[in-house]
C-alpha cells in the first residue's frame, strides 16, 4: 500500500496490485456477498464480483425491470437471486446498494439480519452519515465498510470489462481485512 498526503492528512491507498484477484478470492473464500438492490451500482458490482469468482447473491424484489434484468444477467431465483431480506440473512457481507430513500425504507427489515460478525457495506455514505434523518445505525457487533467508487456502476462495469478500474475511496473498515473493502472495486 502507498501513503499519500492530502492537506494535513496521510491516507493509506490500496491499489489493485495490493489485492490481485487470487488474493481477494482467498480472503473472501468463506464469505457470501449479498448485494441488495440491482440498480446502477448493484448490477455493476455484483457482476464484477461474480466474474471474479466470488460467491455473490442478489437481493431484489420480484417484478419490475430490475428483477427482469437480474434474470437476463443469469441470476437464478432461489439459488443466487432472493428477496432482499432472505439475501441479507444468507449473506456474510451485505452490500446495501439501494437508493437513499430505499435504504431508509428497507432499514427496519434489514437490521434484524445484521447479526454478529457480518459486514455491512455502502457505496456512498448518505444513509449512514445522516443517520439522524435515515435511522440507519448499524449494530455494534458488525463491521461497516464504505467503498465509494468515483463513478457510476455502469462505468465500474464497463472499465472492469476493459480490464481497467476506477479509483475508490476507502474511508472506513472496523475489523475486516482491508482486502474485503477492495474486493468490490475491480
Query: What is the rounded distance in angstroms from the CA atom of residue 180 to the CA atom of residue 168?
Result: 13
Residue with cell 437464478: 76
Q: CB within 8 A of 97, min separation 6: which ones?
A: 35, 36, 37, 39, 41, 42, 45, 123
| 124 labelled catalytic | yes
Query: What is the rounded distance in angstroms from the CA atom of residue 81 to the CA atom of residue 58?
Result: 5
C-alpha cell at 184: 468490490
> Which secondary-structure segment (H or E) carries 52?
none
Q: Which of 90, 111, 124, 158 is catalytic?
A: 124
CB–CB of 170/14 below 8 Å? yes
- How far out from the chain centre does Cα 120 lie? 8
C-alpha cell at 127: 444513509
Query: What is the rounded distance in angstroms from the CA atom of residue 182 to the CA atom of residue 185?
Result: 6
Catalytic residue set:
124
Amino acid at each position: 500500500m502507498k501513503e499519500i498526503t492530502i492537506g494535513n492528512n496521510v491516507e493509506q491507498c490500496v491499489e489493485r496490485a495490493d489485492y490481485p484477484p487470487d488474493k481477494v478470492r482467498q480472503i473472501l473464500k468463506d464469505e457470501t456477498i449479498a448485494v441488495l438492490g440491482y440498480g446502477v451500482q448493484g448490477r455493476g458490482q455484483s457482476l464484477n464480483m461474480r466474474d471474479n469468482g466470488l460467491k455473490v447473491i442478489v437481493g431484489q424484489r420480484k417484478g419490475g425491470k430490475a428483477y427482469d434484468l437480474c434474470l437476463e444477467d443469469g441470476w437464478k431465483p432461489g439459488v443466487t437471486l432472493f428477496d432482499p431480506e432472505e439475501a441479507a440473512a444468507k449473506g456474510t457481507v451485505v452490500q446495501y446498494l439501494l437508493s437513499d430513500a430505499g435504504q431508509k425504507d428497507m432499514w427496519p427489515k434489514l437490521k434484524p439480519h445484521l447479526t454478529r460478525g457480518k459486514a455491512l457495506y455502502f457505496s456512498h455514505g448518505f444513509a449512514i452519515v445522516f443517520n439522524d434523518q435515515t435511522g440507519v445505525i448499524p449494530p455494534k457487533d458488525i463491521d461497516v465498510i464504505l467503498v465509494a467508487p468515483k463513478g457510476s456502476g455502469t462505468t465500474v462495469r464497463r472499465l472492469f470489462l476493459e480490464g481497467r478500474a476506477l479509483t475508490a475511496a476507502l474511508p472506513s473498515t472496523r475489523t475486516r481485512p482491508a482486502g474485503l473493502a477492495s474486493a468490490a472495486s475491480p
